[in-house]
Amino acid sequence: MATIDQPDLTKLVQSTDSKHTSDSMAATFHAQMVGKTVLITGVSPTGLGAEAARIVTKHAPKLLILASRSPASISQVIADLKAAEGFDAAATTIEPLPVDLASQASVRAAVASLNEKHPDLALDVLINNAGIMMLPAYEGIPDAAGQVIEKQFATNHLGPFLLTNLLVPALLRSKATARVVSVSSGGYLGSPVYALDDPSLLRDTPASRAAYDAFKAYAQSKTANVLFSVALAQKLAGKGVLAFSLDPGAVGTTNLSRYVPVDVEKALGWRLEDGSLNPAAPFITAEQSVANYVMAAYDPALADKSGAMIKTVAVDEGVLDYAKDPILAEKLWALSEELVGEKFDY
């Protein structure tokens, strides 16, 4: 069972007093949103990806590409978007992109199919939203060399790392300044990327299974999201692509925490003793959460803040050192290249 001996897990949730919502933020940045090409991963009817897709669609993108491992989920979200009042089919095209971010082969196949359909794709915004949280037991996924590594790290970091790098040519073709937004979590506070000191800790071995801590594995992957943005900002500096990470806060209506043990949720104050959601818990709405997405993806004031983390609709100035250290970011980049079997040099 997952332990909760992490530092101050109450920081996993944001304050509920924010007046900003996805709609209010998008109204501010409407001019930056119209006519853009946007790709969002992890789109399901009950998740934050669907809310991100809703607000982007409302502001007339040229092309919206929605990615998920579930074709049925994408189809439902697309149907809902097209049925919404004000949808303009003449202005906006919405396309599905089936992809399982846990599988490097699936990521490569998805990008290949996208490049075949749009050989000169100019991508303005990539939102790496997909993720999994606190699997109940160790699960392994093959890396590029066929060795098995921990699934949360593979899904939450390596999949987006590979997807983003394969899409960099499309991002560089953007006529505006393109942006890569990686959705991290306040959970990053629970652990640095411990595999940087010993990559064998990612491997599927009797020892790693015995020592598996679902929360620390999740926290490691979320720290990796922040470090990835730091590294990407460094490598693409001056090339017309900005990178940001963000803390979306805790939204009680998504199913991301479906694997979190109930006793852990009770200890965090998320649930009452009877197992029901605690109405006093500081959850935020999906609209409040996605306000951070809109800011990271479109706010012109962030032009000189590439590599920053966004939290509660502001630049987070308190990011822990192990999540913003450029040396650790470079070390993670090198490890990630090894695990995906390809080097990316910009």
Give the separation between CA 275 and CA 260, rounded to whole angstroms. 12
The two tokens of residue 278 are: 């605690």
Lowest-confidence region among 62-71, 251-260, 335-344: 251-260
The two tokens of residue 37 are: 């090409």
Q: 3-state DSSP call for residue 41? A: coil
Higher local confidence (pLDDT), 278 or 119: 119
pTM of the model: 0.91
- The whole-number pLDDT of residue 13 equals 45
The two tokens of residue 222 are: 């979320």
- The whole-number pLDDT of residue 250 equals 79
What digits encode the pLDDT tens for the residues 207-250?
Answer: 888 889 988 999 999 999 999 999 999 999 999 999 999 999 87
The CB density around residue 318, as the number of other CB atoms within 10 Å, is: 7
Q: Is 298 a catalytic residue?
A: no
Q: Which residues contact 173 (CB under 8 A, 6 or more apart)?
A: 120, 121, 122, 123
What rounded mean pLDDT belongs to the chain?
A: 90
Asked if the model's pLDDT at residue 74 lies above 70, the reply is yes
Closest listed residue to residue 187, CA positions, set 128, 250, 244, 229: 250
Q: Structural domain boundaries of the chain? A: 9-340
The two tokens of residue 269 are: 């104050």
Asked if the model's pLDDT at residue 6 lies above 70, the reply is no
Closest listed residue to residue 37, CA positions, set 60, 21, 20, 19: 60
Catalytic entry in 138, 188, 218, 298: 218
Given pLDDT bands bounded at 50, 70 and 90, which one contains residue 145?
very high
- Provide the residue count of the chain: 346
What mean pLDDT do residues 119-134 have? 96
What digits encode the pLDDT tens for the residues 22-54?
Answer: 999 999 999 999 999 999 999 999 999 999 999
Give the separation between CA 38 and CA 304, rounded to whole angstroms. 21
Given pLDDT bands bounded at 50, 70 and 90, which one contains residue 259?
low
- The whole-number pLDDT of residue 267 equals 66
Give the separation between CA 265 and CA 104, rounded to whole angstroms. 32
Q: Where are the beta strands (DSSP E) in the chain?
A: 37-40, 63-68, 93-98, 125-128, 140-142, 148-150, 178-183, 241-247, 309-311
Q: Sheet containing 93-98: which strands, arranged edge to edge?
A: 93-98, 63-68, 37-40, 125-128, 178-183, 241-247, 309-311
What digits encode the pLDDT tens for the residues 281-317?
Answer: 667 889 999 999 999 999 999 999 999 999 999 999 9
- The whole-number pLDDT of residue 7 equals 38
- What CATH number is given for 9-340 in this structure? 3.40.50.720
Closest listed residue to residue 43, CA positions, set 75, 86, 6: 75
Give the separation between CA 37 and CA 94, rounded to whole angstroms. 10
